[in-house]
Structure 1
């Protein structure tokens, strides 16, 4: 499927590139997969989500990061929670040893099972971490690591999962950590300024470029997902992205390929580090998560453990784990996982503002199995999307994302000339005035999923009232409204932000 014209979705800094393809805008749900040697110990502190941690005044907050995939970096802080745990459970064992356990676990890994489960959950695309910050590659690369021998899998995890995903009708993308590789630069990262200062220099830029070109040419990924930064300059990045667009014309590039040369000059002195750390703290307080700076070339934005508060004309995806980590964390308690209410409503909120949800799954490192608490959350998404996938998949933002009405939160999005209304905590029976919608003689309301619904209005210019019954006690109820107008602007639903 090729790109279709989609005004308003081409980043201003990348006007020469393609528009964001329809398949990505239609998808609404993607699955991120973090599965690395760090999944073997699978442990991180759980006291804070990443946003509140970075917003705090804690010294070296990243030493206590809740992400298990950062296990190797956390070990470099002798007093960190991970170091204390490691000393107790794995005394004197270096991180690199976990690769052998990880490789052994591949014997029981079933990529077809993963793909079937992700498709059943309602996902339309996957993004697999092909190489995270530890530098370990999940394919038998022809570009060997010069610092750690055999630092990759013999089994082609990337290729096999890509084939299984596409066999289920899913798009398949790859994540590559261009900004960090701890086999090239193992400087401890405790703060945001450390993060960017730790981007390797020297031969690493050519190494990373060769890796990504290999991934592009070998696997033709539908999504090219970078992280942290890009070690080369803007010219090198432009050439790389041009190669990707030539090979995958309807592919998507995320917003984390910031050329390192743009950042490196600002990180040479202590005063700059203080400014960067203070700025990062204020942004985390404002955004309640991580919002990457805009690079010169990108297609989609990727707020992390965060979302946006308005309809966006730029394509975006909300990126987060099912608990407080991306990688598998055996330290997570039930309270650290998204509840059914949180997951269902946050998904509706993202869709109403024109975004996708890229929800992470973290398989176990020892056997490649997806833990039951994560499978439960995938089942919850399947229930929501099974209500009426056609009312969600392929939708676009309406003229407003929604507000509170009658004490309940409401979200709207446009679906082929109709308006889908999502009501939070509806109860099995009830009614609600929607002040954003006005009825006409042609207005009809249909309950999506179980139950029945109808509408009433005292006048064609008055608020639309939805009545429902028999809808169960789920956290969200969805209704399709046809023939209504936007009460505040007079616009018809088909005038949505397409």
Structure 2
């Protein structure tokens, strides 16, 4: 019987618990190999905000903040998923847009029946097929964003707004669809910020943290949601956002997750104490994490800690109907960014923002498909790799090069089309007589060692690509990094 099978599974988990409810215990957990290996995830930001699908700015957040400050950032937020907060600026552009399109009498929560009617058109198999073609190893869906609306039919009702959840199990259906494509399912949940429980307008940097809901009943509410998500969907990634209530027992929650999903991974946004981030795009560190999550940001060099760059194809995570060719990244730009991230021990969590009916903008699809087509040829230089002894160098004619490696193989990835037939890659020494190959091209390349540079002759019929991966086997012993474990 089903209930007996479930009971046996729960009993088995309890008798084989590896992690206890202490920081010392959960800090033994590390990012799993699958997470290191797959490199690419797809973020999906979808919810009631997808109905209006609009943001005042199309400037990426770091640039907008740098040029105009936090006042402009909150008032003209480029994140369409923050529509409810920007709507609270009575004289702001979002309020003007809302009143003109929907009328002043329509409240944000009135988008719920519209979203639920539209989302009935959604076909999760179309998403999973697109993400497979993009080469993704995992997806992360916003099960609850800061507006408090749930994308699954929870048994834990909203503390102030009954029925504030999708009647269709969007989380569960996506999980089934992506797993059918051998893609892992991850879940995003806004744990500290919930505007359905605390409607105070965020119009200053410190309010991101001062508005976090700290009431005891919210601690129980957020914990109950996470336990339900873990029990029901077994997410491979537990992706929290904007801190967590200070009174929560984080080690207990994480131990529950790790004992349920031993090869799961947790991000760094479960902090409970406010602190100023050390760099733009970073978050106050959580009490424990498997990976860092710079947002619309990156690192300059290889990081010892595993990390994941998260960003949209445009300046927003949620769908912004004003995005077009001028604001969406091209596949070529994403590929070059992706290679740079991987060379520095990072993953890329690239976001798509669907419309309310689940359809994805053609330009977002084109970007994903272009990335996937490149990975079909060059994925060997990305998946399963680790950083080398250095992340980057340049060719003699100024083209950027990024390095990745496997146990006995080095990949030098050129971030542009070579301008000359013979490409000189500085700071690389090949083993005499070893083959040098260009991925996607038959046969070995002619090469010679020119001091500290490797001179490689590229074919004249070079295919048009955003980046070119050169494979060297084997790597000289003195150039093999201790990071190589694949």
TM over 0.5: yes
Cα distance in 1 for partners of 2:210, 2:425 equals 51
Task: Please say if residues 311 and 397 of structure 1, whose CA atoms lie closer than 8 Å, have aligned partners that are also in contact.
Answer: yes
Cα distance in 1 for partners of 2:376, 2:422 equals 23
1:295 shift after superposition: 1.6
1:437 shift after superposition: 0.8
1:183 shift after superposition: 0.8
Cα distance in 2 for partners of 1:484, 1:232 equals 49
Task: Please say if residues 46 and 331 of structure 1, whose CA atoms lie closer than 8 Å, have aligned partners that are also in contact.
Answer: no
**For 2:326, what is the secondary structure of its paired residue?**
helix
Residues 1:114 and 2:101 aligned together: no
1:206 shift after superposition: 1.1
Cα distance in 2 for partners of 1:13, 1:244 equals 16
Report which stretch shifted further, 35-44 or 87-96.
87-96
Task: Please say if residues 442 and 484 of structure 1, whose CA atoms lie closer than 8 Å, have aligned partners that are also in contact.
Answer: no
Correspondent of 1:38 among 11, 31, 49: 49
The TM-score with structure 2 as length reference comes to: 0.90
Correspondent of 2:390 among 389, 396, 400: 400
Residues 1:78 and 2:80 aligned together: no
Aligned CA distance change for structure 1 residues 183 and 385 (closer, same or farther; 3 Å): same
Residues 1:334 and 2:325 aligned together: yes
Task: Please say if residues 34 and 360 of structure 1, whose CA atoms lie closer than 8 Å, have aligned partners that are also in contact.
Answer: yes
Residue in structure 2 matched with residue 218 of structure 1 by the alignment: 232
1:243 shift after superposition: 0.5
Residue in structure 2 matched with residue 149 of structure 1 by the alignment: 162
Task: Please say if residues 386 and 404 of structure 2, whose CA atoms lie closer than 8 Å, have aligned partners that are also in contact.
Answer: yes
The TM-score with structure 1 as length reference comes to: 0.88
Report which stretch shifted further, 14-23 or 78-87.
14-23
**For 1:356, what is the secondary structure of its paired residue?**
strand
1:14 shift after superposition: 7.4
Report which stretch shifted further, 347-356 or 434-443.
434-443
Aligned CA distance change for structure 1 residues 334 and 464 (closer, same or farther; 3 Å): same
Cα distance in 2 for partners of 1:154, 1:442 equals 64
1:450 shift after superposition: 4.0
The number of residues matched between the two structures is 458
Cα distance in 1 for partners of 2:198, 2:120 equals 31
Residue in structure 1 matched with residue 214 of structure 2 by the alignment: 201
Residues 1:87 and 2:78 aligned together: no
| Mapping for residues 8-407 of structure 1, pairs under 5 Å | 16-55=27-66, 56-59=68-71, 61-92=73-104, 93-202=106-215, 203-233=217-247, 236-259=249-272, 262-263=273-274, 287=280, 290-365=281-356, 367-406=357-396, 407=398
Aligned CA distance change for structure 1 residues 484 and 243 (closer, same or farther; 3 Å): closer
Unaligned regions of 5+ residues in structure 2, if any? 1-22
Unaligned regions of 5+ residues in structure 1, if any? 1-11, 264-275
1:254-287 CA distance string (max 9 Å, x none):
000002xx23xxxxxxxxxxxx8xx67xx6xx64
Task: Please say if residues 315 and 355 of structure 1, whose CA atoms lie closer than 8 Å, have aligned partners that are also in contact.
Answer: yes
